[in-house]
Amino acid sequence: MAGSARSAGRADRDRNPEGRAQNQRPRDRYGRPLPYGSPGVPRVPDDAVFAPEEGLDEAQALLDDGYAFHAHEVLEAVWKGVEGPERELWRGLAQIAVGLTHAQRGNRVGAARLLRRGAERVEEFGPEAPSGVDALGAAAHARSVADAVEAGESGEIDTSRLRLRR
């Protein structure tokens, strides 16, 4: 991970070596920033690069362990690394993962909105989505979680129920 430095111009913002704002605070399992010096969970480096199949495996492992925010970061890295129409598949998967993150954090409105937006994007790829992605299954799962959070169903969000691969 790139080293961090406090900004010389603004002491309240972390900066990467190029001077761009980049929060370096440790994060909890839901991606929420913790106070400096707190123990956090390992983060996906901001400059991480994943091939689609590798990213799919890594994101699924993170979802299986309840780390939807971190799975989102992996899927976002794939999205940023692919070209052409396939980008929208990965963008949609990243939106589903961040929607699950919002559900884990108790943000029902944001969760439902992102889960449905991601479901629409991935569903368009149908049963033969690239890289073995189960686009229809991911979309159906995202909509079922969106329905549950909108209905006010409480309880822990089981991110391991989302299966990304056919």
State pLDDT tens for residues 126-148: 999 999 999 999 999 999 999 99
Statement to judge: residues 27 and 93 lie in one domain: no
Tell me what the mean pLDDT of segment 43-72 comes to. 95
Distance CA(68)–CA(92), nearest Å, equals: 14
Residue 4's domain comprises 1-43
Say what the pTM is.
0.86
DSSP β-bridge partners for residue 6? 14
Statement to judge: residues 130 and 65 lie in one domain: yes
Statement to judge: residues 59 and 134 lie in one domain: yes
Q: Give a yes or no: residue 138 inside a domain.
A: yes
Between 108-123 and 135-150, two packed helices, what is the crossing angle to 10 degrees? 160
Statement to judge: residues 21 and 84 lie in one domain: no
Does residue 139 contact residue 122 with C-beta atoms inside 8 Å?
A: yes
Statement to judge: residues 39 and 59 lie in one domain: no
Statement to judge: residues 35 and 72 lie in one domain: no
State pLDDT tens for residues 19-49: 766 678 899 999 999 999 999 999 898 889 9
> What letter does residue 128 receive in the DSSP assignment?
G
Statement to judge: residues 32 and 14 lie in one domain: yes
Statement to judge: residues 37 and 59 lie in one domain: no
The domain that holds 59 is classified in CATH as 1.10.3450.10
Distance CA(17)–CA(31), nearest Å, equals: 22
